[in-house]
Amino acid sequence: MTKRNKGGFLIDNLVITDYANEGKAIGRFEGKVIFVDGAMPGDVVDVRVYFNKKDFAEARIINFREKAAQRLSPVCKHFTYCGGCKWQHVPYAEQLLFKERMVHDTIKHMGKVDVAEWEPIIGSENEYRYRNKLEFAFSNRRWVPNEILTVAHAQNKPALGYHIQGFWDKVLHVDECHLQNEPTNAIRNAVYQYATEKGLSFYDARQQQGLLRNMMLRVLRTGEVLILLTFKENTPDILPLLEFLKSRFPEITSLNYAINAKRNDSMSDLQVIHYSGKPYITEMLDGLQFRISPQSFFQTNTRQAEQLYRKIKEYAGLKGGELVYDLYTGTGSIAIYLARYAAKVVGVEYIEPAIIDARLNASLNNIDNCTFIVKDMADALTDEFVNQHGKPDVVITDPPRAGMHPKVVESLRSLSPEKIIYVSCNPATQARDLQMLDDKYAVIKSCPVDMFPHTHHLENVALLSLR
């Protein structure tokens, strides 16, 4: 049964039958697929459709008729609205089964590629507090859902928390987040209390006004803590806040700030000002040290990064005499990890600051058989490049979500290394690229690694062998 409603039409007694990508679940109504946030197979729900197309619609739950027997109570009080950990209500074992099936289905049906051996997904030992990096936004007006909006909420209180998914100008205030170890919550709440008591202005994304913009925290397994606060402009109010943090939290290893007068929140092009402590923090990964500065990229789940890199090493099967290319090397963590087992590793990346970090980390670990090159991947693998660095025995490729550039795929076909290990955070683009390599390479093994429990995100590692 459906009813028209001011907020969109309603569907009663929708039976949820399966999971879908992007953390949603699926029901069917009159031949149409309905994607529902916060549902799971076994639920029977009333929903309100907020996006409607001919073949599918997207909806939100407004009432439960029945709840799935295996449904869990979410750990986080912000679960309904945050959007960060969409599967807290789903048992972790069930999450892993779906992720594994999603990888298989994507590669088989979208890529139309045969895989000789599907290895079981590698789950995370920690379901919560697994992230070493979190970013929070300040807003002069916190977002409050209509169903709990009260006179007290209507006072336009400021917020320090996460952007509401799909809205660049709406921020959900967060009291506690379960994704990172302490002192994250203590620091965030102390900054909020200090700022409100001192009358510091929180950012207004629409008006482009307000002092406090963003706060990034890194908390490592080594116990080291890095903070980067971003301000709209340089004012006398900044230093007292930094001094407050320094004295209140002596465990902060590296305290930094930046001024961002741009419209967007990107930090890669900002000049970071080091305030106190060390200008970096150090993480340990399988016996290797990695220095992480405020703008460095590093895997956000260190424990699972170890699992991922061990699987890459296993698939590479290095004997000690191989030349390895590491494409999209980033800050060189995979290249440095493998360099202990190969004759030489050549890492290629187009972001120069990342290559600077890679060279520094190689030196820090006394790795002298890594060469890091700054080059656009689409134009990197030329005959001149190969003549200079040698023809690789093994190629590691770990592209962004968009997958490999077609020129890179063509270069790999021409280069014809014996093995390719394809690491992907997006099975759909990985499937596309595997299909383009299928006539030259057989996919021997595939293994998903769950980097982000309670989300739909993962990494998949595929081993390709020259036919």
Cis before residue 399, ω within 30 degrees of 0? no
Question: How is residue 391 written in tokens?
Answer: 């023809």
Please compute, for residue 210, the number of CA atoms within 13 A of its CA located in the half-sphere on the CB side.
23
Q: Which helix (H) or strand (E) element contains residue 383?
A: helix 383-389
Write down how long the chain is: 467
Nearest CA-CA partner of 136 in 101, 105, 175: 175
Please compute, for residue 126, the number of CA atoms within 13 A of its CA located in the half-sphere on the CB side.
16
Rounded CA-CA distance 371/345 in Å is 6
CB 443 within 8 A of CB 420: no
Rounded CA-CA distance 40/233 in Å is 46
Verify whether residue 76 is a known catalytic residue: no
Question: How is residue 281 written in tokens?
Answer: 């923090």
Rounded CA-CA distance 189/19 in Å is 35
Rounded CA-CA distance 200/105 in Å is 51
CB 73 within 8 A of CB 67: no
Given 76, 82, 370, 425, the catalytic residue:
425
Question: How is residue 8 written in tokens?
Answer: 């969109």
Place of tokens 């209390």: 193
Cα separations in angstroms, 239 against 96, 231, 394: 46, 11, 51
Cα separations in angstroms, 262 against 158, 188, 286: 21, 24, 39
Q: What amino acid positions are annotated as catalytic residues?
A: 425
